[in-house]
Structure 1
Amino acid sequence: MRVIAHRGASVAERENTLEAFRAAVRLNADGVELDVRRTANGVLAVHHDAHLPDGRAIVELQDDQLPGWVPTLAEVMDVCQVPEANREFLVNIEIKSNLGEPDYDEEYQVSTAVAGLILGWGFGEGDRRAIVSSFDMEAINRIRAVDAGIATAYLTFEVLAPDLLVSRVVSAGHTAIHPYVASTSQDLVDAAHEAGLEINVWTVNDPDQITQLAAMGVDAVITDVPDIARTTLASSPS
């Protein structure tokens, strides 16, 4: 089971910063998860909320007006190129596209830009170094419209009918489901795997939950504490 550092190693360092992503590499995570939003001049900025702590909306700022601790996606991708042989370090890019937020992207420009950046890095079909996720199905549909070889995942908070969810994701051609930990069941894992989908669960910090999910056969946990997750898995029965 892979360990994906949620917004980087976000307990060890400030979330969604280059320091957090470097820490994830250092703590032997298998990858990182991050959030992407657009600036006024179309740069992809890595930040969870639509607004900075001082209240300014990211979409209303030029990239050179962002605080120094807010990196661009290109900067993060550069940090996450892990040179060790035989180590595939995954970058899970979550596209923020929420109705009611100032940067709601009804034309899905961010999806197009993210796909272009991934292709520019040479992450082609079957490459396990990048996956794009969103709660907005159309955002990841647009990724596939640019290049169907890019891995895509549907984020979900509540799973009421595993078979229907799996069917919807498969019919759209996506690669994985990213369910909330409390909504993850053995039925969902089994249905997804039978359909050829991965299940990568968020946000999992409790060692007992990590152990339980490993026993269920999930493909990855997305966690704020990759060091704890790695230690837990190493000490769990295989």
Structure 2
Amino acid sequence: MTVTAHSGAYDTEDNTLFSVKEIVRHQKNIQIIELDLTFRPDGFPVMLHAENAKITEGESFEEALLYIAENSDLSINIDLKNFNPEFLPAVNELIKKYDMLGRVFFTGVSYDKADTVKSSCPDIRFYINHLTPLFTQKAINDFIEKIIEKQALGTNIHYGIASKKLSDSLHEKGLLLSVWTVNDKKTADKLKKICVDNITSRNPDIII
């Protein structure tokens, strides 16, 4: 199981280079760092939890990427907030530029955005997001078929809709179950028991 430091973990401001540096400083307890990604109107990629950034909003995604590449072994969960097919290919090229293809993946990708992501960033794997509970085995099986259809790594969901049945069904197909955002040890321990593959937290040290 991996642990992901949510953007703004360790009581830092979300989506800032300072936060990235602080998370890297704690990297012995985590394997993955999350960055939110969107674009300014001119296509400049920035870290921001919003679909669009104003011309002066957001800190440079490239600066964060470079810092992580040079100062850690962490993988990066890029939580996509904008799916503009004119802008996304530049992200693919940046990740190749810093030799990070094996350490980067996307989340925030709904089923209907998967094809855009695949065509714009063909070198980067991704998880399918899902927001509603899957109560029956049929619902789980139908969802898994969609994940396989889009050639995704698995699913990234709110921890409240994770279940042992979902976890087992995904694993039977070689798929992964990632959950967000868990900030207390009791919940983390419950999720470990159902064998989730990743837990995202603002307090990663509680997951150990």
Q: Select which of 112, 115, 125 maps to 2:89.
A: 112
**Structure-2 change in CA distance of 1:14 and 1:114 (3 Å):** same
Residue number in structure 2 paired with 1:236: none
TM-score of the superposed pair, with normalisation by structure 2: 0.87
Instruction: Write the mapping of 1:35-54 to structure 2, written as runs, cut at 5 A.
Output: 35-50=36-51
> What do residues 65-115 of structure 1 show as CA deviations (whole Å, max 9, x unaligned)?
23xxx321111111212656xxx4110111114xxxxxxx5x533432322
2:59 aligns to what SS in structure 1? Answer: coil
Task: Report the equivalent of 2:155.
Answer: 177
Name the aligned partner's letter for residue 137 of structure 1: Y
What SS does structure 2 have at the residue aligned with 1:36?
strand
Q: 1:169 to 1:163 in 2, by over 3 A?
A: same
Unaligned runs of 5+ in 2: none
- Secondary structure of the 2:69 match is coil
Provide the C-alpha distance between the structure 2 equivalents of 1:169 and 1:74, rounded to a whole number of angstroms: 29
Shift, 1:205, TM fit = 0.8
Pick aligned residue for 2:127 from 153, 163, 170:
153
Question: What is the CA-CA distance between 1:134 and the residue it aligns to?
Answer: 1.9
2:146 pairs with 160, 168, 175, which one?
168
Kept in 2: contact 1:33–1:94 (CA 8 A): yes
Query: Which TM-score applies when normalising by structure 1?
Result: 0.77
Does the alignment pair 1:6 with 2:6? yes
Residue number among 27, 51, 75 corresponding to 2:63 in the alignment: 75
Deviation at 1:148?
4.2
Counterpart residue identity of residue 49, structure 2? H
**SS state of the match for residue 183, structure 2?**
coil
Q: How far does residue 177 in structure 1 lie from its aligned partner after superposition?
A: 0.6
Q: Is contact 2:88-2:121 (8 Å) kept?
A: no
Partner in structure 1 of residue 178 of structure 2? 200
Aligned length: 202
Name the one with the larger strand percent: 2
Q: Cα deviation per residue 1:135-179 (whole Å; 9 max; x = unaligned)?
A: 433434333224544221112221322221111011111112101
Distance 1:137 1:73 in 2: 25
1 CA distance for matches of 2:179 and 2:196?
Answer: 7
- One-letter amino acid matched to 2:68: C
Paired with 1:146 and 1:119, the residues of 2 have a C-alpha distance of: 14
CA distance in 2, matches of 1:228, 1:109: 40
Which structure 2 residues correspond to residues 81-96 of structure 1 after superposition, within 5 A?
A: 81=69, 83=71, 88-96=73-81
Equivalent-residue separation in structure 2 for 1:214 and 1:183 (angstroms): 14
